[in-house]
Chains A and B, each alone.
Chain A
Amino acid sequence: MTALTRNNVSVTGTGEVALVFIHGFGCDQRMWRLVAPAFEDRYRVVLLDLVGAGGSEVGAYDPARYAALQAHADDVLAVVRALALPRVVLVGHSVSAMIAVLAAIAAPAGIVERLVLVAPSPRYLNDAGYVGGFERVDIEELLEAMDANYLGWSGAMAPVIMGHPEQPALAQELTDSFCRTDPAIARHFARVTFLGDNRGDLPRLHTPTLILQSAHDVIAPLPVGQYLHRQLPGSELVVLDTSGHCPHLSAPAPTIAAIDHFLGAAPRP
C-alpha cells in the first residue's frame, strides 16, 4: 500500500506549483469537480480522498490512529512526498481546512507555500468566549441523523467498498452512493471533526493563508471566519456572496476567482 493508492490520489495539469485539494467531512474528492479543472492549465492539480472516504483504502482506517486530525495531515504530507512535489498550495474544505493547517505546520520548510481554507472552522462547539455555532447535543443529533440514513447500508454497500468499480452495475451503485461511506468510519470521523479543537494550533502557522468564507454558512458562520482571520496575522479573508457550507459547489466561479487572485498576488521567488 502506497500513499497514492491509500488516498486514491489523482494528478492532472501541469505547472511548477501543485494545488492539493482536500475534501471535507461527508464527501470525497468529487466535491472539487467544479473548481479543480480550472487550474489544470497552470498548476499540477492533485486530488485525494481522506482515508475512510471515497475511493481510499477503507481498511487503512485505524480509529486509534485517526482519532486526531494530525493523522490525516500526515497522510497529505505522505502524498506530497510520494509525488516529490517541490512547491505546494494546500486547498482544504471544512474540516480539511484544519488538516491543511496541521500539514503546513508539520511540513518541511519551504514546501507548503500557501494555504486556501474553504469554509474553515477551528472548533465547532461553543466555548467560553467563543462561538463555534454548536452544542454537544447537536453533534449527538447529527450522529443520530447519520445512523438513520445508514439503515440497510451494510448489506447493499459492502460490495462497492470492497472495490469492484470495473463492474458497471456496481459503478452505478457507487455513483448513487456518492458521499456515503462506512457508517462506523463516518461516525468516528464525525466525532473527530465536530468535537475537535484546533484553535491552539493556529499560532504555530506561518504560511500565507486565504480564508474563503461563505456569507451564509450555518456550519462555519461568518464570526468563525473572522475569528480565524484575527488569529492568523497576515491572512486574507474573502467573503463569498453565497449560501451553504460548500462555496466551491454553490459559487464555483467566485471561488476560482478568489483563489486565482490570491495565488497571483503571491510573490514568485
Chain B
Amino acid sequence: MDFELNDEAKEAVVKAREFANKYFTEEVAERSDREEQFPTDIVAISKREKILDFSNPWKVLVTIEELVRKDPGLGISVTISAFGAEIFMFFGNDAQKEKYMNPVFAGQKTLGLGVTEAGGGSDVANIKTEAKLDGDSYLLNGGKMFISNGQIADYFLVLARTTQPPSPEKKHRGLSVFIVDSKTPGFSVNKLHGKLGVRATNTAELIFNNVRVPKENMIGEEGKGFYYIMTFFNISRIYVAAQGLGIAHGALDRLVDYSKKYGEVSETGELKESLQLAIAEIATRVEAARNLTYKAASYLFKFTPNPVVTSMSKYYAADTAVFSTRRAMELMSIHGLTTDLERFFRDAKILDIWEGTTEVEKLIITRMMLKEEGA
C-alpha cells in the first residue's frame, strides 16, 4: 500500500497549480461568475498547453483537484470539455472513437452528455426523450435539462428511449445512447441563467425536435444505454469527488490564511482553540475524502471499479466541500464573505446534486454492499 502519488502525477499537480496561478486571476474568476460567462479563452489555452493529459487518468484526477482548489467555476470549466468521453472509450466502435472521441481528447472538439430531463432528475430510467427508427436513421424528440457544455459542445451523447420497457419495473430497459451533432437541424439550446454557483460553467436545456441521427451514431447495442450511463457515472463520480476535494481544500487554504492574518490569539499567544479545532476538523475531512477518492480511483484505473467506494468518495467529498466552505465562512466572518470564499460556498452546493445526489450515492453504497454480501 503506497499513499504517495507517482512522479508523473506530482508533476501534473505542479503544472496545474502554475496554470491556475497564471490564468485564474480573481478578476477573471469574479467576472466569469458575475456575468455567467464561460471562460473560452482560458479553456483554449488549457487545451493548447495540454493541461489535461488523458493518457494518464491519475494526472487528470489531480489536475481537476488542483485547478478547482484555485477556483471551482474556472477549474470545472477547464476540465469538463471531454465530459462523457469514457462512454466512447468503453462502448464506442473504432469509427466513432476516430471521428468523435479523438478530437475531443485532442482538445479540438467539446463534448456534452444529455441524460437528465426536466421531470427526471435522479430517476434516470424515467426519461421521456424518444428515438424512433425511420429508415437509416433515428428521429429524436424530447429534451434534456441541466446539461453541462450545453451551449458550447460540438457533440452530445444523448440517452433516449428506443423501445418501450417490458414492465414499469423494468424501465431501465429499452434505452440507447446516441451521438448527436449540435449542428443537426431540429436541435436547439436554451442557456440556463441564475445558477447559485459554478456560474462560469455553461449549463443549458437541450431540445430535440425531429433531430435526425444516423443509425451508425448509436453507441454499442440498442437497449443497453442505461447500463452504459451507469457505468460512466461510476467513472465520472470519482472526478466529481476530485472537484469536491478541490473546493474543500480551497476553503481550508483560505481559512488557514485568514487564521495567520486575522485569527484571534489567546493569552498564550496561540490561535484560540475553537479556530484550531475547526481547522483540524476540515483538514481531517479533506484528508479522509482524498483517501477515499484515491482509493476509488486506484480500483477504477486498474479496471476493477468498486462502485461502493466510488459512491462513498463522491458522497463524502461533496459533503466535505459543503461542510468546509460553510465552516470557513462562519469562522472567517466578513473576511470570508468579501473574498473568493463566498464563491466557493455557492459553488460547493452543486456537488451534493450532480452526478447522483448524496441520497442516491448512499443508497448505492448500501444496496451494493448488501448485494456483495449476498443479503
Binding partners A and B? no
> Could you list which residues of chain B lie within 8 angstroms of chain A, going by C-beta atoms?
none
